[in-house]
């Protein structure tokens, strides 16, 4: 058997790729296609997909989009060119996810850097510590986070003990942001750590010898070399953030809505699978475009270095 | 999320004492009277043991039956009842719509869902010859709009969507939804509403004098505008009812729209909480025992339904889960805990309230879409 694999390259590839490909096709690609088909269907009297085929679900997403430029200062500078219920929802989801990705990155980078500089034994220990939260279900961890932010939770108890005013944290956009950063932190740390661990620090010395200051060495030597980890971490953080559901529900308290939550509702409470499928597909397309643009800009960065 | 157990999880995190109380399961008041001796005796003789399955499975709301009741059924009939749980009617419906009955003998849909399941041909007609204890169910809980000739369902529990508030924080006693819609500015951010499209919009509709089942876009949009205005002023949270109870007990909100069962649980954690059924029209709902098409053993399910309707069992169950029982006989014999029976919010006087209690009828996709759109607009505001 093994001999056969050794001799036939194509069989070998099939043997290695087969299980993964099978899994992806059966459990990802086919459901995705089914979802795409459903997004063009109507609802039967119970809200489930039924013929005839229609573009109505997509029309429902875009029909209220109007050109209506506006500037406001509600919650920071708000510049709007268009109005539209779902457009706004997509935009807010992407914006919040982008901000959460940047915050996650700013927190994760020093941690990953620190971990990669530790002696070997300590590195495994810190890696282990980063992964410990995965042992607990995410829903339960989110409830724990809710408890932390409550009016009578530890944070506000501490504030009171210090003689400070307690602050309303839970059910604010800040709470959603804290939840997103908390949940995605390990996904940023791990790829960054992998890149940084391989980083050859003598390159920094070389850069310094050639006249670069620390900032220049960081920007023009280190950053490009760890950019695979940076890109992977950012995508692993941004994409799930856009579609996040539990965090939005439990930390936002219904005051901060994101597209993932609205989509989930179409499949549960409001039983409108076709509309939910259309929203999901649009979200996938938007996120894919954002990710591709990001990859492109990452490559551009490398090119300027070389 | 689910009918009862979910709140426990949230409360458990807010303190070891709450957790211990939750684990102790002592929150349900004990019956004030011992089961009366003249209660109908078990009648195993009438049950055809040969036809009974060894086990049956019940797809039920989480925490929606007393463990002791399941144990007793096993003792008396030798049947193990396996329970899977769901957290919404739609979740349960989707399971049946997606691939047929996955092997359940019994389900517990709410009112409007019974009519949807009947229309979709997903329910078996019950053989009431196997359910003689159906006679103990109050007539007010039979032949309701969703099963007009009562062929498919047996009432299991009922309750309302009312309003709970902390009397130490909300100065004025709340008795109607108009007060909620005129929420005081001083309590901004301390109001909760239920994250359910119909329950939320029903409040807006009813305060404006419309039915919670309005289908006129003008009425729905007027309710939407009122609720957006309230959101700007009061900045209410939108969470599901068990989470609202947790937030209320933790003190993050002072008042919330809430289901009866969650209010009873919350109140047992904090005696300062008051639960009312606002007098200007509130939602009433009823969960029902039904046998889905393709049930492995309809007969076993019917024997179990009959068991649940037996007066002593109905009482034991109702006292444990803290909801209103439709068993007229259990109430007549005084088997239900005083704290529950005497609480007009748990057992509102249906006859006296009349039109002030309203079922929410769902299921017309076009109307549902109007509501959903209005709901999304409220959430985006």
The residue behind tokens 């499209």 is B197
Q: Which residue has the higher pLDDT, A286 or A82?
A: A286
pLDDT of amino acid B15: 40
pLDDT band at A2 (very low <50, low <70, confident <90, very high): low
Asked whether the beta carbons of residue B13 and residue A88 sit closer than 8 angstroms, the reply is no
Contact B258, B245 (CB under 8 A): yes
Summarised one tens digit per residue, pLDDT across range A149-181 is 998 899 999 999 999 988 889 999 999 999 999
- Determine whether the interchain pair B9/A249 forms a contact, defined as Cβ–Cβ distance below 8 Å: no
- DSSP secondary structure string for all residues of B25-40: T--SPPPSSPPPTTSP
Is B381 in the A-facing interface, judged by CB distances under 8 Å?
A: no
Q: Is B30 on the interface with A (CB under 8 A)?
A: no
pLDDT at B27 over 70: no
Enumerate the residues of chain A whose CB falls inside 8 A of the CB of residue B376: 85-86, 89, 262
Residue B127 per-residue DSSP state: -
Written as six digits, the tokens of A37 are 């088909």
Distance CA B78, CA A25 (A): 46
Q: Record the tokens describing residue A305, joined without a space.
A: 């270095």
CA distance B183 to A274: 38
Q: Report the pLDDT value the prediction gives residue A104, as an integer from 0 to 100.
A: 97
- State the Cα–Cα distance between residues B138 and B286, nearest whole angstrom: 13
pLDDT at A58 over 60: yes
Rg (CA), chain A: 24
**Span A7-24, average pLDDT:** 85
Contact A94, A284 (CB under 8 A): no
Indicate yes or no: CB of B377 within 8 angstroms of CB of A250. no
Tokens read off for A197:
């661990």
- Of A118-127, B42-51, B328-337, the one with minimum mean pLDDT is B42-51
For residues B108-128, average pLDDT: 94
What is the model's pLDDT at position B8? Answer: 40
Q: Please give the residue that has the higher pLDDT: either B158 or A212.
A: B158
For residue B24, what pLDDT is reported?
37
For B356-366, what is the mean pLDDT? Answer: 87
Distance CA A195, CA A232 (A): 10
The architecture in CATH of the region A67-300 reads Orthogonal Bundle (1.10)
Q: Give B223-249 pLDDT, tens digit per residue.
A: 999 999 999 999 999 998 999 999 999
At residue B285, φ and ψ (nearest 5 deg) are: -140, 160
Q: Residue B80: is its pLDDT beyond 90?
A: yes
Rounded (5°) CA angle B304-B134-B125: 70
Record: contact A46-B120, CB cut-off 8 A: yes
Predicted ipTM beyond 0.85: no
User: Which of chain B's residues have a Cβ under 8 Å away from the Cβ of A46?
Assistant: 93, 97, 116, 119-120, 363, 365
When pLDDT is averaged across residues A210-219 and rounded to a whole number, the result is: 88
- A1 band by pLDDT with thresholds 50, 70 and 90: low
Predicted confidence at residue B2, as pLDDT, reads: 45
Which class for A111: exposed (0-12), middle (13-18), buried (19 or more C-beta within 10 A)?
A: middle
- Residue-wise pLDDT for B167-214, tens only, equals 999 988 999 999 999 999 999 999 999 998 899 999 999 999 999 999
Q: Which residues of B touch A267 (CB under 8 A)?
A: 94
Q: Which residues of B are less than 8 Å from A45 in CB distance?
A: 119, 363-365
Contact B90 A268 (CB under 8 A): yes
Residue numbers of B between 51 and 110 with CB closer than 8 Å to A: 88, 90-91, 93-94, 97
DSSP B166: E
Instruction: Identify the DSSP state of B195.
Output: S
Q: What's the farthest any 2 CA atoms get from each other in chain A?
A: 76
Q: Given an 8 Å threshold on Cβ–Cβ distance, is B93 in contact with A46?
A: yes
Which residue does chain B place closest to A144, by CA atoms?
B13
Range list of β-strands (E), B76-225: 80-86, 106-107, 153-166, 191-194
Q: Would you give the DSSP letter of residue B283?
A: E
Q: Express each pLDDT in B270-282 by its tens digit.
A: 999 999 999 889 9
Average pLDDT for B88-110: 89
CA-based nearest distance B289→chain A, Å: 21
Q: How far apart are CA B305 and CA A204, in angstroms?
A: 76
The DSSP symbol for B105 reads S
A59 touches B: beta carbon within 8 Å:
no
B28 has a pLDDT exceeding 70: no
Residue B330: strand, helix, or coil? helix
Is B259's pLDDT higher than 50?
A: yes
Q: Is the pLDDT of residue B153 over 70?
A: yes
Distance from CA of A133 to the nearest CA of B (A): 17
Residue given tokens 């699978």 in the structure block: A273
* pLDDT greater at residue B311 or residue B171: B311
* Contact A93/B at CB under 8 A: no
Annotated domain spans of chain A? 67-300
Sign of CA dihedral A183, B90, B249, B283: positive
Contact B238 A254 (CB under 8 A): yes
Residues of B in contact with A150 (CB under 8 A): 14, 250-252
The answer to whether B196 contacts chain A (CB < 8 Å) is yes
**CA A187/CA B349 separation, integer angstroms:** 55
Instruction: Report the range of poorest mean pLDDT among A70-84, B7-21, B168-182, B295-309.
Output: B7-21
Are A151 and B243 within 8 A, CB to CB? no
Question: What is the average pLDDT score of chain A?
Answer: 87
pLDDT > 70? residue B3: no
Q: How far is A78 from chain B (nearest CA, A)?
A: 15
A88 contacts B97? CB cut-off 8 A: no
Nearest to B296 by CA among B124, B40, B78: B124
**Cβ(A194)–Cβ(A229) below 8 Å:** yes
Using 50, 70 and 90 to split pLDDT, how confident is the model at A120?
Answer: confident
CB pairs under 8 A between A and B: 91
Strand ranges in B103-149 using DSSP code E only, listed in sequence order? 106-107
pLDDT at B145 over 70: yes
CB of A47 less than 8 A from some CB of B: yes
Is A267 touching B (CB cutoff 8 A)? yes
Report percent pLDDT > 70 for chain B.
88
Asked if B380 has any chain A CB less than 8 Å from its own CB, the reply is yes
The model's pLDDT over A227-248, given as tens digits with 9 standing for 90+, comes to 889 999 999 999 999 999 999 9
The two beta strands, A78-83 and A66-72, are: antiparallel
B350 touches chain A (CB under 8 A): no
Contacts of A255 in chain B (CB under 8 A): 235, 237-238
What are the strands, taking DSSP E only, across chain A? 41-43, 49-53, 66-72, 78-83
Q: What is the mean pLDDT of residues A252-275?
A: 87
Mean pLDDT computed over every residue of chain B: 86
What's the start-to-end Cα distance of chain B, in Å? 25
When comparing pLDDT for B325 and B35, which is higher? B325
Q: Does B367 touch chain A (CB under 8 A)?
A: no
Contacts of B184 (CB under 8 A, 6+ apart): none
């Amino acid at each position: 058997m093994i001999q056969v694999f050794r001799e036939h390259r194509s069989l070998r590839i099939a043997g290695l790729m087969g299980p993964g490909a099978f899994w992806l096709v059966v459990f990802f690609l086919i459901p995705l296609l089914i979802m795409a088909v459903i997004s063009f269907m109507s609802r039967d009297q119970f809200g489930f997909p039924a013929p005839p085929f229609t573009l109505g679900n997509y029309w429902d997403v875009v029909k209220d989009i109007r050109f209506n430029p506006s500037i406001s200062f509600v919650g920071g500078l708000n510049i709007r060119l268009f109005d539209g219920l779902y457009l706004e929802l997509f935009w807010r989801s992407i914006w919040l996810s982008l901000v959460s990705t940047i915050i996650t990155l700013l927190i994760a980078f020093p941690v990953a850097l620190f971990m990669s500089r530790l002696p070997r034994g300590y590195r495994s220990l810190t890696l282990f510590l980063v992964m410990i939260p995965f042992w607990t279900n995410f829903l339960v961890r989110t409830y724990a986070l809710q408890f932390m932010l409550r009016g009578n939770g530890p944070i506000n108890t501490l504030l009171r003990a210090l003689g400070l005013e307690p602050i309303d944290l839970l059910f604010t956009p800040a709470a959603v942001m804290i939840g997103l950063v908390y949940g995605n932190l390990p996904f940023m740390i791990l790829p960054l750590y992998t890149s940084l661990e391989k980083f050859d620090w003598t390159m920094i010395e070389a850069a310094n010898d050639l006249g670069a200051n620390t900032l220049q060495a960081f920007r023009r030597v280190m950053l490009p070399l760890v950019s695979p980890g940076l890109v992977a971490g950012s995508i692993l953080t941004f994409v799930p953030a856009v579609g996040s559901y539990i965090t939005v529900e439990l930390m936002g308290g219904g005051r901060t809505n994101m597209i993932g939550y609205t989509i989930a509702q179409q499949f549960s409470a409001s039983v409108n699978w076709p509309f939910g499928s259309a929203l999901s597909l649009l979200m996938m397309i938007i996120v894919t475009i954002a990710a591709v643009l990001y990859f492109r800009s990452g490559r551009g960065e490398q090119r300027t270095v070389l | 999320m689910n009918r009862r157990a979910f709140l426990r999880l949230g409360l458990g995190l807010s303190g070891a004492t709450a957790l211990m109380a939750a684990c102790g399961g002592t929150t349900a008041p004990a019956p004030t009277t011992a089961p009366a001796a003249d209660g109908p005796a078990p009648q195993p003789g009438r049950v055809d043991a040969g036809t009974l399955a060894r086990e049956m499975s019940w797809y039920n709301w989480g925490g929606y039956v007393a463990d002791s009741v399941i144990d007793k059924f096993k003792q008396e009939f030798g049947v193990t009842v396996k329970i899977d749980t769901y957290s919404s009617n739609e979740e349960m419906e989707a399971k049946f719509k997606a691939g047929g009955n996955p092997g359940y003998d019994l389900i517990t849909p709410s009112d409007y869902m019974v009519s949807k399941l009947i229309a979709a041909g997903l329910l078996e007609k019950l053989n009431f010859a196997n359910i003689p204890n159906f006679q103990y169910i109050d007539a007010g809980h039979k032949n309701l709009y969703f099963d007009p000739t009562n062929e498919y369902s047996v009432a299991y529990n009922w309750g309302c969507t009312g309003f709970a508030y902390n009397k130490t924080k909300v100065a004025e006693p709340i008795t109607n939804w108009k007060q909620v819609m005129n929420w005081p500015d001083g309590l901004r951010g301390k109001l909760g509403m239920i994250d359910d499209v119909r329950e939320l919009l029903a409040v807006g509709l009813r305060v404006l004098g419309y039915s919670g089942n309005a289908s006129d876009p003008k009425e729905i949009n007027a309710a939407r505008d009122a609720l957006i205005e309230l959101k700007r002023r009061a900045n209410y949270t939108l969470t599901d009812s068990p989470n609202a109870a947790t937030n209320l007990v933790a003190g993050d909100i002072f008042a919330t729209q809430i289901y009866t069962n969650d209010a009873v649980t919350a109140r047992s954690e904090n005696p300062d909480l008051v639960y009312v059924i606002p007098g200007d029209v509130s939602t009433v709902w009823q969960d029902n025992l039904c046998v889905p098409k393709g049930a492995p053993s309809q007969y076993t399910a019917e024997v179990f339904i009959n068991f649940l309707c037996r007066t002593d069992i109905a009482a034991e169950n109702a006292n444990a889960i803290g909801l209103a029982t439709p068993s007229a006989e259990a109430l007549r014999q005084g088997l239900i805990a005083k704290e529950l029976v005497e609480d007009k919010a748990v057992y509102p006087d249906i006859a006296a309230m009349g039109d002030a209690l309203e079922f929410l009828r769902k299921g017309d996709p076009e109307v549902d879409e109007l509501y959903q759109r209005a709901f999304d607009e409220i959430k985006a505001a």
